Amino acid sequence: MKRNFILVTALLASCLFSFGQRNIDMKLVDKALNTKQMRATRNDIAPSRILYTVVDGEVLLNYNDTFSYDEYEYYLSQVLTKFEDLGTWYPTTLTTYQYDFNLMPTEILKQRMESDWVNDELTTIQYNGDDFMPMIEEELFQRWENNTWVNVSKNTYTYEPEVTILVRDWNGNNFENHYLYTIVAEFNNTSIMLQYWNGGAWQNQEKLNITYNDNQEIISSVTQTWDNPNWVDHEKAEYSYDGPYKLSKVTKTLASNGQWNPEKVKTITYEYDGMGSKHAIVESNYGGWEEQNTDIEMFYNEGESILYENVHEVEANYTDVTQVDEQPSSNQVSVAPNPATHSIVVNAERFTKAEVYNITGQKVMESLTPSINLNGLTAGTYFIKVYQDDNATNVQKLVVR
């Protein structure tokens, strides 16, 4: 694992492998520290299908995720999850991603399969408007109840002088404080403190300290819990590498009575192919089925990764999703009339698709034909992105009156 940009690696979650309930949400921390990495970059290598196994008592539960990518931009558009029962795979959930003009995710819709797909959860994400390095300002989480979206919780991010994440729960009338993350990132160390709201004040709960080598790969992490008035060691993880971006083993040890206990050890071992980590499995000296699961992070594309929480084994397949890079259009593209009132016509050779974005970068319209009806748009300034079948694109300003 390697820290990207100036802060921390894309998905720190593998640094925390909890033997019990994990309190620090590392996916949440990653969003705060690596917001720029959330942009839907078109990497050469990306997951195509991932199979994973969960130990539940003495039963092995098998799942697989199939990843779909936009045929024009090559960014992730959907993830279909299936569950195996007696040799037959059944669809369970479908997750769909929407992006803004800067290719930052703005909506994540999760649906579950009943007799058909029905709404389940919705995440809405807002950014600070900086096109160079968009940073998350707020995430709103909702669930589908009685044919409407109902608030569940909200996360608010701040970045100066240190990174914080305020987690608030909806009580039916307003959002109430629940958790507060405080994150301090330096070149060779990152500390993450989790506090909970109690009695009108923040109370310490858990802390994670992560250490990096000069290549910005994680070499160790220590989780501590608060036992007033001291932080007490709870768990450590140590990392071994076979080369750059090639994590080979993670060894995790639990503390007992202030000492690291050799009888409480888990390991994750990795196998690689030419595209990334193709297989990872958990081994534990606990001896019980209940201790055979942990968080497993699979790596690809020189440092990118995807996390699976509380699983026993993961097998990943990857694909080259770009093959032909998108190129700025060298052909003449025009939009008329501009300014427009009710409709426009896009004049472009080998036209395939057009997308209309508002001034904040949210996609508000898409058309597979060059004649586009604008009656659903309010007056204002927009951007129209035109695609052609040679993977060329052209962006123009559009004024609607």
pLDDT of residue 329: 52
What DSSP assignment string belongs to 293-355?
-EEEEEEETTTEEEEEEEESEEEEEEEES-SS--EE--S-EEEESSSBSSEEEEEETTEEEEE
**153: confidence class by pLDDT, cuts 50, 70, 90:** very high
Mean pLDDT of 41-52: 82
Mean pLDDT of 150-165: 94
Chain region(s) in the chain for CATH 2.60.40.1930: 327-400
pLDDT of residue 12: 29
Q: Cis link prior to 262 (omega < 30° from 0)? A: no
3-state SS, residue 361:
coil
Mean pLDDT of 202-224: 91
Higher pLDDT: 244 or 2? It is 244
CATH of 13-320, one of 2.30.29.30, 2.40.128.720, 1.10.3370.10, 3.40.50.720: 2.40.128.720
Strands 136-145 and 148-158: antiparallel
Most confident of 143-147, 273-277, 292-296, 342-346: 143-147
- Whether the pLDDT of residue 382 is over 90: the answer is no
* Average predicted confidence (pLDDT) for the chain: 85
d(CA 139, CA 157): 9
Per residue in 72-125, pLDDT (tens digit) is 667 889 999 999 999 999 999 999 999 887 778 899 999 999 999 999 999 999
Per residue in 48-84, pLDDT (tens digit) is 999 999 999 889 999 999 999 886 667 889 999 999 9
pLDDT of residue 322: 67
pLDDT of residue 32: 80
Query: Which CATH fold topology does 327-400 show?
Result: Immunoglobulin-like (2.60.40)
Question: Nearest Cα to 354, choosing from 324, 393, 391, 380?
Answer: 393
- Whether the pLDDT of residue 1 is over 80: the answer is no
Are 136 and 158 in contact by the 8 Å Cβ rule? The answer is no
Query: Is the overall model pTM greater than 0.75, yes or no?
Result: yes
pLDDT of residue 196: 96
Higher pLDDT: 392 or 259? It is 259
- Whether the pLDDT of residue 392 is over 80: the answer is no
User: What does residue 90 show for φ and ψ, rounded to 5 degrees?
Assistant: -115, 135
Mean pLDDT of 148-153: 98
Chain region(s) in the chain for CATH 2.40.128.720: 13-320
pLDDT of residue 18: 34
